[in-house]
Structure 1
Amino acid sequence: MTPRPGRRPSPPLVTDSGADRRPPLAGPPPPGTPTPAVVRRLVAAGATATPVWRNERGGLTYRVQETAPAGTGTTGFLKWAPHGSGLDLAAEAARLAWARPHAAVPEVLARGEDADGTWLRTAALTGTSAVDARWRRDPARAAAGVGAGLRALHDALPVAGCPFTWSLEDRVAAARARLAAGDGPAAWAPEHAALGPAEVLARLADPPPVDPVVCQGDACTPNALLGDDGAATGHVDLGRLGVADRWADLAVAAWSFTWNHGPGYEHLVVAAYGVTPDPRRNAFYRLLWDVS
């Protein structure tokens, strides 16, 4: 996998069915990926740890199966972030603890830090990722589950009293900083590649009105869990959870679904969410995601 600058929707797991040929930013860890010390300690204590994901900043996720005398054990996940990656697992733990009384998100079991990086252990939720092979074979049902599940999350999390924000102002400031540092079209999605920095800033200076909800902050398809019937069972990766416009999540959720399942299903995500398509908000928040 070849990481490229810029944060985009979840990387395409299918790259041969459309015009988008960008290299994936994340995916299963390649062979030879070094194992963090905290994972080695778990294995030494008798647990099994299976690597399942590597993100574009070098963070790793492992499925952990605890051993037990009866031959069964609890299953959970361990996320690890190298020092200097910019991944704030302490912030994610705080957001999970706040959201858990309201919605199906992972329970925090433990977190810590060592010489290599920081780590976060959570309990497993029921369901499989919406990019699982079974949902790649049934994308229409998966699209409905992703859209309805995102709406249920937004409806469940209370805006009043939420201590976290994913504010437009902060994200636009981040975009300005990236542009000032030299980020540009080579790092952006094809639909934005023809824009120069001045045009990007002009578009970001004219935001649509905000319809506030508590957003997941990373509503990409892999982070939605679905049950056997296609209904949402939970959400993972809430490190940027905070109050923002609902389309900040929804635009990226539908975009990511296309990257992972191919074209033709975005409208099903939006329809299942239960709102009228909003081209202006959709375009604005995809651009903001791409450049910030």
Structure 2
Amino acid sequence: MSRPVISEIPTGPVAVPAVVAALAGGDTVTPVWRNELGGLTFRLEGGHGATRYAKWVPTGTPEIDLPGEAERLTWARRWVTVPRVIEHGTDAEGAWLVTEAVPGRSAVDPRLSADPATAAAAIGHGLRLLHDALPVDLCPYDWSVDRRLVRADERIAGGEGPDDRFPEHRHLGLAEARARIGEPPAVDRLVVCHGDACAPNTLLHDDGTFAAHVDLGSLGVADRWADLAVAAWSMEWDYGPGYDGVVYDAYGIVPDQERLAYYRLLWDMA
């Protein structure tokens, strides 16, 4: 499966937003991630303080809610290892979120992705730890099908169609695709989902074991398959075919093809 460009490690020059330069002070600013919506993540590091990460998105990017992510990180870190929020804000140019670094490297770091089976197992194990640790009854955030269908309809109204989807979904006409996501399978188990449980958002220790989760801007209560579908799907995007089963085994679950297919189409459209 070929993958549309969703996000990547920048390989060329990146313009540093003025607010990020100001936040850095005298620290070295290194771009570490860029998404397809224009959002950027920078590492801020120097000799006189802890390493920080600054996320920035331009104004008019409703898909990325950095104030909402700050709230979710603060809520979740009572039970799991996620970055501590230092500050966040908005101005006429965009929004930003600054967090403390947590130990670990992204699971797509070349030193870790060179052993994809180990990385895939850590991702599945880490996702299970997250789902088991975060209390559904205390979570104020929602990532339900109903909420996500609203976003899917907004995208449809904005003119997005088959060419904007992943290759395996492009054969579906708009009416058929919308009808399919309008008929969700019964909920298996409600958990507090990560909301973007792909490989780059999982941090691993240098020995390949799970360390932490990052990028929790969509965290909320949903069926666990909403996370599992994306986590296992991202194995093919980032490591190549054949590692999705490692994620299921490490999580401790037998793959449910109906739920996987449903939540991948919902992800694609919403």
After superposing on structure 2, the runs of 4+ consecutive aligned residues of structure 1 that deviate more than 3 Å are none
Match of 1:57 among 37, 42, 47: 37
CA drift of 1:153 comes to: 0.6
* Alpha-carbon distance, 1:228 to partner: 2.2
CA drift at 1:229: 2.5
| 8 Å contact from structure 1 (residues 42, 48) kept in 2 | no
State yes or no: 1:201 paired with 2:178.
yes
| CA displacement, residues 171-208 of structure 1 (integer Å, 9 cap, x when unaligned) | 11221232233211101111111111111122112211
Contact 1:102 1:156 in 2 (8 A): yes
Q: 1:262 to 1:244 in 2, by over 3 A?
A: same
SS in 1 for 2:137: coil
1:1-292 maps to which residues of 2 (within 5 A)?
19-20=1-2, 22-43=3-24, 45-68=25-48, 73-86=49-62, 87-210=64-187, 211-292=189-270
Q: CA deviation at 1:123?
A: 0.6
Contact 1:247 1:281 in 2 (8 A): yes
Distance 1:288 1:115 in 2: 32
Conserved 8 A contact 2:4-2:166 = no
Residues of 1 paired with 2:155 and 2:197: CA distance? 22
TM-score normalized with structure 1 length = 0.88
Shift of 1:25: 2.3
Alpha-carbon deviation of 1:33?
2.6
What is the CA–CA distance in structure 2 between the aligned matches of 1:38 and 1:67, rounded to whole Å? 21
After TM superposition, the score normalised by the length of structure 2 is 0.95
Q: CA shift at 1:147, angstroms?
A: 0.3
Q: Which runs of 5+ in 2 are unaligned?
A: none
Per-residue deviation at 1:111?
1.1
Q: CA RMSD in A?
A: 1.3
Write the distance in 1 (CA, Å) between the matches of 2:74 and 2:113: 31
The answer for the alignment partner of 1:11 in structure 2 is: none
- AA paired with 2:220? G
- Tell me how far apart the structure 2 counterparts of residues 28 and 277 of structure 1 sit (CA, whole Å): 30
Q: Which amino acid aligns with 1:284?
A: Y
2: CA distance, partners of 1:151 / 1:217: 14
Task: Give the Cα–Cα distance (whole angstroms) in 1 for the partners of residues 228 and 248 of structure 2.
Answer: 7
Q: Compute the displacement of 1:82 (Å).
A: 1.0
When the two structures are aligned, how many residues end up with a matched partner?
268
SS at match of 1:160: helix
Q: Secondary structure at the match of 2:96?
A: strand
SS at match of 2:238: helix
Q: 3-state SS of the aligned residue for 2:8? A: coil
3-state secondary structure, aligned to 2:126: helix
Distance in structure 2 (CA, Å) of the matches to 1:124 and 1:64: 9
Amino acid of the structure 1 residue aligned with 2:31: P
Greater relative contact order (Cα 8 A, min sep 6): structure 1 or 2? Answer: 1
CA distance in 2, matches of 1:56, 1:23: 10
* Structure 1 residues 222-276: Cα deviation after superposition (integer angstroms, max 9, x where no partner): 0001112222110000000000010100100000111000001000011111111
Q: Partners of 1:140 and 1:52 in 2: how far apart?
A: 24
Gaps of 5+ in 1: 1-18
SS in 2 for 1:213: strand
- Counterpart-to-counterpart distance in 2, 1:59 and 1:34: 12
